[in-house]
Amino acid sequence: MRSIPEDRTTRALIRDEALGLFAAHGPESVTVRQIATAAGVSPGLVVHHFGSKDGLRQEIDQYVVGAFEAVLGELTGEDGVESLDSGAGAASLSAAFTRHFPAGSPLPGYLRRLLLGDSEGGRLLFGRLYELSRAALDDLAAAGLAVPGRDPAARAAVLLANDLAVFLLRDRLGEVLGTDPLSADGMARWAPEVLGIYTGGLNASPPGPTREAPPEA
């Protein structure tokens, strides 16, 4: 019998392998047997952990939402809110994205495939991401760093569409910018412009680099 820690490790392994396959081929085209083979386990163990492929897909969707929630949480938490109107905000946005969507991660590809497809899973995922966008706007407004606008629902949708564009148009953006916008270098270019527009509008200059504290005497 597997120990509890080993079960958790196996569960995460199955989830990660399924995520990669779903991103590459689409959830509908991937079988439980293919997921089991990629993870090096039996199909029965996949069913044991997740009940079915649909159960596994639901957990992956929640995993994707969790990554977005973590990024937004870092930016709208106490430290993040305080730094959003400075150069530190650009650094924190860049760091948050590269930490939760590292190079080679299948998360962006899966997100793109799911949101652009016509599936109930995609609609549910977008609805959850929209809820996060509304909550983030509320947090920024409460901190005095944003105003909800005349139509907060529409403003939250605009912000979400902009945030998702870097995932949905990743390849095209890479072509015109000459670098992957989700790479560390690409995000270092993207983040200051995004935050500059968010905090000051199109007339504002992007925030400058964070100044280092002078050495102690």
Domain ranges of the chain: 1-51, 53-200
pLDDT at 210 over 50: no
**Does 53-200 match 1-51 at the fold level?**
no
pLDDT in tens, 144-203: 878 888 999 999 999 889 888 988 999 999 999 999 998 889 988 988 888 777 777 777
Say if residues 181 and 171 touch (Cβ distance below 8 Å): no
Residue 209: what pLDDT?
56
Q: What is the Cα–Cα distance from 135 to 126, expressed in whole angstroms?
A: 14
54 burial (CB, 10 Å; 0-12 / 13-18 / 19+) is: exposed
pTM value is: 0.69
Kindly report, residue by residue over 48-83, the tens digit of the pLDDT: 999 999 999 999 988 888 888 887 777 666 544 544
Please state which architecture CATH assigns to domain 53-200.
Orthogonal Bundle (1.10)
CATH topology for 1-51 is: Arc Repressor Mutant, subunit A (1.10.10)
Average pLDDT of the chain?
Answer: 81
Classified as helix, coil or strand, 39 is: helix
Find all residues with CB under 8 Å of 27, minimum gap 6, and list them.
53, 57, 114, 121
Query: Do 115 and 126 touch, CB atoms closer than 8 A?
Result: yes
Tell me how crowded residue 149 is: count the other CB atoms within 10 A of its CB: 13
pLDDT of residue 215: 46
